[in-house]
Structure 1
Amino acid sequence: MLRVMKFGGTSVGSVDAVRQVTQILADAYRQGDRVAAVVSAMSGVTNQLLEAAAQAAAGNDQAHTQLRQALIERHRDTATALLTDSQRQHETIAHITALADRCSRLVESVHVLGHLSRRAEDWIASFGERMAAVLVAAALNQAGIPAEPVESDQIIVTDDQFGNASPLLDVTRERAHSILVPLLERGMLPVVTGYFGATLNGAVTTLGRGGSDYSAAILGYALDADEVWIWTDVDGVMTADPRLVPEARTLPAISYAEAAELAYFGAKVIHPRTMQPAASRGIPIWIKNTFNPDHPGTRIGPETVPNGSVVKAITAIPGISVITVEGSSFLSVADVTARVFEAVAKTGANVYMIFQASSQHSLGFAVRQHEAAMVHAALTREFELDLHKGLIARISEDSQLAIVAVVGAGMKGTPGVAGRVFNTLGQAGINIVAIAQGSSELNISFVIAEHEVARAVPAIHAAFGLASVPDSTHGTGITEPVTRSAVAPGN
């Protein structure tokens, strides 16, 4: 069996965490599986890299030296605590120092130019993963597991959308088979950097924040993996955010479509685009907890698994603004809908929901609050003449809102679900600003005041009895993954 195992920032964020990752990978390797690891940067490092680059562009002539020192200190201290062999320790610290030097020179060049391009930002942001892969590979080698760090800009080929690139899967597949497959066939465990790739011309690109999940699914696709395991700091996909709903439970299984809806509408346990490469080949994705490896976790696969409720989970996105374009009648304004979304697309803002009055007097949509002013300005420029003529009455923004999404494949064709959702909100005295339901009938989404989320999510969770959802795979027909406790020592 070939497994791709991805470990997030908290999973490699400390000495003890890296030791736990090493144990998990070593156990899987000794079990006889072929394993390819994908690692994120140590927690906080990517933010540190981006902040230093921004400071350099703003005129801080010490940003590059301060960054270099901070990177070396954190990774050197981790290597020193992890590695007992002096030669391996020396080689690992030398490798980390060389990477920090390269990164420092890039940040210095940003200061000299006084400009931080998206291309330069992606290149700088990639160094956290590069250093983490070196650390994890060194720890594995010390544990007797032959491992090698592999930089993903040699394998994952993408388009040139810096900051949010998309993979060219056929070319990536060729690269994976020429670079990774020979390593696996020699009994090596490749430790691949997550989060970034490169264009055909070799320019480093990133896959969006949280993109290491996506990297793992891309490599799973490229290697024809049997499974992709996403190791994080929670037990799996939950019925709600436990900070809002303490009685929230772990779901044993959900479908690719359900997982995509949850990820898109705010569930941070997995990157929204992770499902697509895996789904195209039917590769199961497991969400597992690095710090509780005996928990079965959540399986994401082609089919949904009934859990006794038509609803699987509830999630929320705070910090939302609703932009509304209003007029006496859009019939007199040519191509108004196309013009609205062409203008929005040029800003790069993501639209989460769209709603239009049947009378065609208004068109509204939801965006992130920090992008609202930019979107509003773009629409004002686009419709300047229509506003002057009175064909468009106004373009307005309502802020401090949130989107709540109720997700579950069981809602499809089941009458009364929306009624129960909105009746629950009505009984709680929560006002609804806007409503949308996807054509797939997998989710019902609505906009409410941000401060009402803490009441709305628990109320809906209770209304659908999600606290009683089983948190194990027993009775679902799912085969549990083999975890560390199931592996005999020394095997």
Structure 2
Amino acid sequence: MSSEDNGASTPSSVDSVLPATPPSLHQNSIDPSAKYLVQKFGGTSVGKFVVKIARDVVSNYLDGNKVVVVCSARSGSTKALGTTNLLLKAASEARKAKHHAHTSSSSSAFSKSGIFGSSSPYPQSPAPQSPSSSPPLGPQSRSSSPPSPGGFSLSGSSQSEFSKTVNLIRSEHLLAARKSVNDPDILKELEDEIDRDCDWLRGFLLAAQVIDEISPRSKDNIVGLGERLACKIVTAVLRDQGIDAEYVSLENIVPDVDSEDHAGEGATLDQAFYDRLAVAVGDRIKQCGPRVPVVTGFFGPVPGSLLDQVGRGYTDLLAALCAVGTQASELQIWKEVDGIFTADPRKVPTARLISVISPDEAAELTYYGSEVVHPFTMEQVIRRKIPIRIKNVENPQGGGTVIHPDPDRDLSRISEKQHEHEGERLHALQGVYKGFIPMDSTLRKEKEKSPTAVTIKENIMVLNVNSNRKSVSHGFLAGIFGTLDRYGVVVDLISTSEVHVSMAIEDTINGRHLEKLLKDLRKNGTVSVHREMAILSLVGKQMRNLVGIAGRMFSTLAQGDVNIEMISQGASEINISCVIQAREAVKALNLIHQSCLQITPEGAKGRVGPWLF
């Protein structure tokens, strides 16, 4: 397969298909000592703030760094209009719909020129000819029977449901392009790319109708189109804002897997696979030279399907592998929040920003309700001693939160340059500092003897199983866990005795499936179900050494008249969790935050405010 086919162009081939870089375009540092800096942007950021990303974020890091941009599929104006959701919807519609198809004599060609280079690894039909440079938006702007790659075209009753969904994807991205790109030449090329990609999708779905199947790998390819479209828009916007950007598709970057363990359904990918993938990704990025790579988060297909192996968080994982493969100084995850807080600031007004947190603490917060970074993604970079910084697209100058491999090492020092760039002086009353800024000695002592954060995970139900005493204790437990395994139920918290098991699980099991699960569990004893519950978790690596913290937590809840249904402490000893009624979740969050996490000025006595009761 040629480099045009797999998107892994050599430096010379890139130069041959891209126009010469105007001298005014801003590029990455060419200093040999400059380190790579990987910036990952989520779908909401790409959907709402793409111009701000180019103008206020990427451009500010080019001097002294080699910036790599990784993008998720863009979100729409509503969750239902998110690109990934629309792509999955189109795949479902194509699978279910009745269809008629016939072959077409239309030829296909590769895109081999322009700012996107040989960007597409699949054959594409020529862009539709239009008398205007900007074709009108909406389903009516396309022919009812557009030519499609692979030799298919939509026939008579052509406007099927999936075709309407493809038109919606097209119109959403054309609208975003026209709102974000001013240069008419760049805009025209971007519009043509969007048209070609949507024609490919239409043809791919029609082919799926013909063979009456969408395999897991086919679904990967369909979903991956979201990242391709997002990255092309970001590349165009960067160029429009004067930054020399290069679109990098990772369609066929996955290294060959020879082991039989990685073949077929149920395959698992080991760490050695991800290590090889990181090297391949790093090598591809380094081919971009001084240009800013805009890298697709999609890197499939992988053995066993990307969605099955990794899930929809594969873009974060790819960003981590980019950081590993380029030996980056830092992985930045850009969101719409300033970082990780001591509690959800939307529910706890006194919550404060955490500037530095350990990977173990971040993993616990992720498991129990806070959207931080998936633990497996964290592991890829932390094991290589690369810090992760969570920052806010709407507040680029804020220091954010750093998930640091060794969080205690740099808490009390910072270089002057980094201080000026990242930091703001600590506000003593709020206890917030941005970046690695020296802490007051009083605050440091308070931090060292306090938990890190409190979080809530809602939509929980509790299953209680009391033994029927027909089996010995180990048989009782084996029967319960075997049943849970057969139904694929993940347990968030568990509390056991010889004759009783309480389990907190997410309340996402549909009614019929739940009834079957309960029926099988009743073979082991009496089963009761409690719904509309929530898990309250107090997290902190210092909690191993905090005498009486559990007592303070539970006595505070008792004073607030919050009933505790179940208690559990993690084996890591950095997390104490309990299950409470969902209706009391916000009150409990505020109670625990004020009692266990509020930093009290020296000499003052902390107390739980009566306004919470």
What residue is the counterpart of 1:138 in the other structure?
Answer: 236
What residue is the counterpart of 2:106 in the other structure?
Answer: none
Residue 50 of structure 1 aligns with an amino acid whose one-letter code is L
How many Å separate the matches in 2 of 1:393 and 1:249? Answer: 46
How many Å separate the matches in 2 of 1:273 and 1:427? Answer: 38
* Shift in Å, 1:54: 3.3
Task: For 1:324-335, list aligned pairs within 5 A.
Answer: 324-329=464-469, 332=472, 335=475
Number of aligned pairs? 455
How many Å separate the matches in 1 of 2:235 and 2:270? Answer: 27
Query: Does residue 335 of structure 2 align to residue 232 of structure 1?
Result: yes
Residue 325 of structure 2 aligns with an amino acid whose one-letter code is A
Query: Does residue 170 of structure 2 align to residue 32 of structure 1?
Result: no
How many Å separate the matches in 1 of 2:495 and 2:216? Answer: 32
| Deviation readout 1:240-262 (Å, 9 max, x if unpaired) | 11221122111111011111111
How many Å separate the matches in 2 of 1:95 and 1:294? Answer: 34
What residue is the counterpart of 1:253 in the other structure?
Answer: 356
How many Å separate the matches in 2 of 1:163 and 1:269? Answer: 27
Q: Which has the higher contact order (CA 8 A, sep 6+)?
A: 1
Partners of 1:326 and 1:394 within 8 A in 2: yes
Partners of 1:123 and 1:205 within 8 A in 2: no
* Larger deviation, residues 360-369 vs 259-268: 360-369
Q: Secondary structure at the match of 1:316?
A: strand
Q: Secondary structure at the match of 1:394?
A: strand
Question: How has the CA–CA distance of structure 1 residues 195 and 380 changed in structure 2, closer, same or farther, with 3 Å as cutoff?
Answer: farther
Query: Does residue 401 of structure 2 align to residue 367 of structure 1?
Result: no
How many Å separate the matches in 2 of 1:238 and 1:104? Answer: 44
Match of 1:424 among 552, 556, 567: 556
What residue is the counterpart of 1:462 in the other structure?
Answer: 594
Query: Does residue 51 of structure 2 align to residue 19 of structure 1?
Result: yes
Question: How has the CA–CA distance of structure 1 residues 467 and 41 changed in structure 2, closer, same or farther, with 3 Å as cutoff?
Answer: farther
* Larger deviation, residues 436-445 vs 87-96: 87-96
Partners of 1:309 and 1:465 within 8 A in 2: no
Residue 356 of structure 1 aligns with an amino acid whose one-letter code is T
How many Å separate the matches in 1 of 2:64 and 2:323? Answer: 18
What residue is the counterpart of 1:81 in the other structure?
Answer: 179
* Shift in Å, 1:2: 1.1
Match of 1:435 among 559, 567, 570: 567
How many Å separate the matches in 2 of 1:289 and 1:204? Answer: 27
How many Å separate the matches in 2 of 1:350 and 1:198? Answer: 27
Between Structure 1 and Structure 2, which shows a larger proportion of helix residues?
A: 1
What residue is the counterpart of 1:5 in the other structure?
Answer: 39
Question: How has the CA–CA distance of structure 1 residues 203 and 310 changed in structure 2, closer, same or farther, with 3 Å as cutoff?
Answer: closer
Task: For 1:257-296, list aligned pairs within 5 A.
Answer: 257-296=360-399
* Shift in Å, 1:202: 8.4
How many Å separate the matches in 2 of 1:80 and 1:22? Answer: 16
Q: Secondary structure at the match of 1:126?
A: helix
- TM-score by structure 1 length? 0.84
* Shift in Å, 1:343: 3.3
How many Å separate the matches in 1 of 2:526 and 2:215? Answer: 35
Query: Does residue 406 of structure 2 align to residue 406 of structure 1?
Result: no
Partners of 2:461 and 2:531 within 8 A in 1: yes
Partners of 2:556 and 2:595 within 8 A in 1: yes
Q: Secondary structure at the match of 1:370?
A: coil
Residue 373 of structure 2 aligns with an amino acid whose one-letter code is I
How many Å separate the matches in 1 of 2:195 and 2:600? Answer: 51
| Deviation readout 1:302-352 (Å, 9 max, x if unpaired) | 234553552111111111122233214475266443443343234333221
What residue is the counterpart of 2:286 in the other structure?
Answer: 181
Q: Secondary structure at the match of 1:398?
A: strand
Residue 401 of structure 1 aligns with an amino acid whose one-letter code is M
Question: What is the identity percentage for the equivalent residue pairs of Structure 1 and Structure 2?
Answer: 32
How many Å separate the matches in 2 of 1:201 and 1:178? Answer: 24
How many Å separate the matches in 1 of 2:528 and 2:206? Answer: 42
How many Å separate the matches in 2 of 1:171 and 1:339? Answer: 40
What residue is the counterpart of 1:484 in the other structure?
Answer: none
How many Å separate the matches in 1 of 2:182 and 2:268? Answer: 39
| Deviation readout 1:258-305 (Å, 9 max, x if unpaired) | 111111111114334331111111110000001110111111112345
Residue 12 of structure 1 aligns with an amino acid whose one-letter code is V
Partners of 2:177 and 2:190 within 8 A in 1: yes
* Larger deviation, residues 344-353 vs 285-294: 344-353
* Larger deviation, residues 200-209 vs 5-14: 200-209
Query: Does residue 172 of structure 2 align to residue 172 of structure 1?
Result: no
What residue is the counterpart of 1:356 in the other structure?
Answer: 496
Partners of 2:283 and 2:325 within 8 A in 1: no
- TM-score by structure 2 length? 0.68
Task: For 1:89-238, list aligned pairs within 5 A.
Answer: 89-109=187-207, 118-155=216-253, 168-183=273-288, 186-194=289-297, 197-200=300-303, 207-238=310-341
What residue is the counterpart of 2:153 in the other structure?
Answer: none
Question: How has the CA–CA distance of structure 1 residues 197 and 119 changed in structure 2, closer, same or farther, with 3 Å as cutoff?
Answer: closer
How many Å separate the matches in 2 of 1:233 and 1:130? Answer: 22
| Deviation readout 1:213-261 (Å, 9 max, x if unpaired) | 2321222122221110001100000111122112211111101111111
Residue 280 of structure 1 aligns with an amino acid whose one-letter code is R
What residue is the counterpart of 1:51 in the other structure?
Answer: 89
Q: Secondary structure at the match of 1:352?
A: strand
Query: Does residue 163 of structure 2 align to residue 65 of structure 1?
Result: yes
Residue 27 of structure 1 aligns with an amino acid whose one-letter code is N
Task: Please list every run of 5 or more consecutive structure 1 residues that lacks an aligned counterpart in the other structure.
Answer: 470-491
How many Å separate the matches in 2 of 1:166 and 1:45? Answer: 30
Task: Please list every run of 5 or more consecutive structure 2 residues that lacks an aligned counterpart in the other structure.
Answer: 1-34, 76-81, 100-159, 409-443, 602-613
* Shift in Å, 1:119: 4.1
Q: Secondary structure at the match of 2:315?
A: helix
* Larger deviation, residues 113-122 vs 168-177: 113-122
* Shift in Å, 1:77: 1.7
| Deviation readout 1:145-173 (Å, 9 max, x if unpaired) | 22222234433569678999877212202
Partners of 2:340 and 2:354 within 8 A in 1: yes
* Larger deviation, residues 86-95 vs 131-140: 86-95
How many Å separate the matches in 2 of 1:204 and 1:225? Answer: 26
Query: Does residue 504 of structure 2 align to residue 396 of structure 1?
Result: no
| Deviation readout 1:179-234 (Å, 9 max, x if unpaired) | 12222xx2121111225533158877673234422321222122221110001100
> Could you say what the CA RMSD is over the residues aligned between the two structures, in angstroms?
2.9
How many Å separate the matches in 1 of 2:357 and 2:98? Answer: 48
